[in-house]
Structure 1
Amino acid sequence: MSVPRKFLPSISSLRALEALDRLGSASAAAEELALTQGAVSRQLQTLERQLGMELVQRDQKRLLLTAEAQDYATEIRQALNQIVQSTLRLQAAPLAGTLNLAILPAFGMRWLMPRLPEFSRLHPDVTINMATRLEPFNFSTEPFDAALHFGNAQWPGTQSLLLKHEQLLPVCAPQMLEGRAVSGPEDIMKFPLLHIQTRTSAWRDWFNRNGIVEGDGMSGTIYDQFATITQAALHGLGVALMPDYLVEQDMATGRLVALHPEPLESAGAYYLVWPERKSDAPGLLKFREWLAGQAQPEDPLPR
């Protein structure tokens, strides 16, 4: 990537700008950066010359940032923090294998997390850093080595490992059934339906597989995560179409009831996905070899 020099100011100048904005005075910025106030002022002058615009208002001995410079400093602060985090990851990697993993909140917490103590026991040298992502992203712009992904695993430039097929059940709170009979899928359509934001066609697909063609008029409330849609179902707000592993405990205690006798396998599945360029990363190699032993074998049901 070829970028004109004026768009890539020196780190020293940017640190001076950020520190002055955050601390409010040149003396405080100079103390934090282990510089003299004069050196801070010169760094800011260099930045002004490079950008070709005024960033600092000089009022006697005080340095005040312009409104535009304050906005610029806010954005620069995020970039500097990203550089720090990337440098820490780079320095830590040779000492102990590090895996930066994007997880789906529900699947990560309920399926992966209970299994991780075994991995930590077998591979104490590998540190797993996790952050949640609800939708696919670009590995080239996000600092992840791998991701837990739901779908069909067709993610350009990646490889994948099947972890688990998903079985779906329509569930609701017992109080919703008072005085109402459910003898088949068509009766479920009479209830308020709860939808998950990342799978807007899930209910329609489920009804279609049960021989019921539903038009575009299917209504209901939408939730962004399984954690919130589960709470909505528990409080009697409607019927949720849920992965069976997420509602097993609530069904066992009677807090939720199933409105269909058997779960149906959804079209997608859970995968570990990683970019091809990182296939040989030590931490990722250990993690996926271990995870392969935790993964569900290929579904024996006919497809």
Structure 2
Amino acid sequence: MIPSRRLLPSISALSALEALDRLGSASAVAEEMALTQSAVSRQLQGLERQLGVELVKRDRKRLSLTQAGQDYVVQIRTALSQIATASLSLQVAPLGGTLNLAILPTFGMRWLMPRLPEFTRLHPDVTINMSTRLRPFSFASEPFDAAIHFGTPDWPGTEALLLRTEKVLPVCAPGLLPHGAPRNPADLLKLPLLHIQTRPTAWADWFAAMKVTTRAPLPGMMHDQFSTITQAALHGLGLALMPDYLVEQDLATGRLVAAHPDAVEARGAYYLVWPQTRSADETLRLFRHWLASQAQTEDGLPR
């Protein structure tokens, strides 16, 4: 049943309200929407009249949202995003459908991208759109059909496919270990440690695997991606705990050295995760069935 027209405001008015919350000024909203400020003001006034609720505070020439307006925007933002995504998909949708996929930047580049040509050969009519996300998110508020995620498959309301586990190795620039790797792993605590946001307990887990007692939290520089932490290690800023496949070339050329000879399996793994509500989607089904054939193979990651 379609709700009453009174409860279905115009998309333009809703977009103006959402933009005011996000951008903080009527002038910025006008610029984004290619309207005049007076037109934006009329949109907002018309929305308030239609709903019978004060959504905007007007302090001289400055506009801001009331608490009711802020609460309303939280609810409509997801709907606006879904409408925009559905409209874009309708305009560019190929015969085989579209899959909107969230990926981890490094794993996506090094593991997924080299494999995708096979999928596109098998399913040339399917379009895969990819954006990076470093942390878990709510599928209800993000326009994604699935995500490649590291950790545990514990997102509420989702299903998951294991892609592969990860082995990590402590590495650094040769200058940090002029006498070679120490025999006692505990000696590595004397070096500056480099941390990555998506693996906050990685070093503690590694030392625990080495039977080394540590005190939390372990100090050190924090990085958000493997690309930046690799550069920090190469420039001698500290010791990085890296997936072995990512540093193989740097180890072979001597730009980095291993501070311990053996790679250790990390806590967590890489998964394809999707909402249960989309399990029957044909495009997603094709992609995950193909991805299952690529998962946890015995050979190493593509170099």
TM-score normalised according to structure 2 size: 0.78
Q: What does residue 205 of structure 2 align with?
A: 205
Kindly tell me: are residues 293 and 16 of structure 1, through their superposed partners in 2, closer, same or farther at Cα, counting changes over 3 Å? closer
Q: What does residue 133 of structure 2 align with?
A: 133
3-state SS of the aligned residue for 1:49?
helix
Q: What RMSD in Å do the two structures reach over aligned CA positions?
A: 3.7
Q: Deviations over 1:15-34 (max 9, x none)?
A: 7898982345489x7xxxxx
- Offset of residue 12 of structure 1: 5.2
The one-letter amino acid paired with 1:165 is T
Q: How many residues align?
A: 278
Q: What does residue 30 of structure 2 align with?
A: 21
- Offset of residue 136 of structure 1: 1.0
Distance in 2 (alpha carbons) for counterparts of 1:70 and 1:21: 16
Distance in 2 (alpha carbons) for counterparts of 1:174 and 1:16: 55
- Offset of residue 96 of structure 1: 3.1
3-state SS of the aligned residue for 2:96?
coil
Q: Do the aligned residues in 1 keep the contact of 2:103 with 2:133 (CA within 8 Å)?
A: yes
The one-letter amino acid paired with 2:200 is T
- Offset of residue 104 of structure 1: 1.0
Q: What does residue 280 of structure 1 align with?
A: 280
Distance in 1 (alpha carbons) for counterparts of 2:278 and 2:35: 43
- Offset of residue 176 of structure 1: 1.4
Distance in 1 (alpha carbons) for counterparts of 2:61 and 2:118: 54
Q: Do the aligned residues in 2 keep the contact of 1:184 with 1:260 (CA within 8 Å)?
A: no
- Offset of residue 255 of structure 1: 1.1
Q: Deviations over 1:162-212 (max 9, x none)?
A: 111100100001121225652231221111111111222111111111111
Q: What does residue 293 of structure 1 align with?
A: 293
The one-letter amino acid paired with 2:112 is L
- Offset of residue 68 of structure 1: 1.4
The one-letter amino acid paired with 1:85 is T
Q: What does residue 235 of structure 1 align with?
A: 235
Q: Deviations over 1:212-252 (max 9, x none)?
A: 11112521111111111111001000110011111112112
The one-letter amino acid paired with 1:158 is T
Kindly tell me: are residues 257 and 84 of structure 1, through their superposed partners in 2, closer, same or farther at Cα, counting changes over 3 Å? same
Q: Do the aligned residues in 2 keep the contact of 1:171 with 1:241 (CA within 8 Å)?
A: yes
Kindly tell me: are residues 45 and 181 of structure 1, through their superposed partners in 2, closer, same or farther at Cα, counting changes over 3 Å? closer
Q: What does residue 195 of structure 2 align with?
A: 195
Distance in 2 (alpha carbons) for counterparts of 1:86 and 1:14: 17
- Offset of residue 286 of structure 1: 1.3
Q: What does residue 173 of structure 1 align with?
A: 173
Between structure 1 and structure 2, the one with the greater Rg is 1
Q: Do the aligned residues in 1 keep the contact of 2:181 with 2:258 (CA within 8 Å)?
A: no
Q: What does residue 62 of structure 1 align with?
A: none
Q: Do the aligned residues in 2 keep the contact of 1:21 with 1:70 (CA within 8 Å)?
A: no
- Return the match for 2:62 from 49, 67, 71: 67
3-state SS of the aligned residue for 1:246?
helix
Alignment of 1:1-303 (within 5 A): 9-11=9-11, 13-14=13-14, 21-22=30-31, 23=34, 25=36, 46-50=46-50, 66-68=61-63, 83-90=83-90, 92-93=92-93, 95-179=95-179, 182-216=182-216, 218-297=218-297
Distance in 2 (alpha carbons) for counterparts of 1:181 and 1:94: 54
Distance in 2 (alpha carbons) for counterparts of 1:42 and 1:220: 53
The one-letter amino acid paired with 1:21 is A
Kindly tell me: are residues 50 and 297 of structure 1, through their superposed partners in 2, closer, same or farther at Cα, counting changes over 3 Å? same
- Offset of residue 91 of structure 1: 5.0
Identity %: 62
The one-letter amino acid paired with 2:30 is D
TM-score normalised according to structure 1 size: 0.78
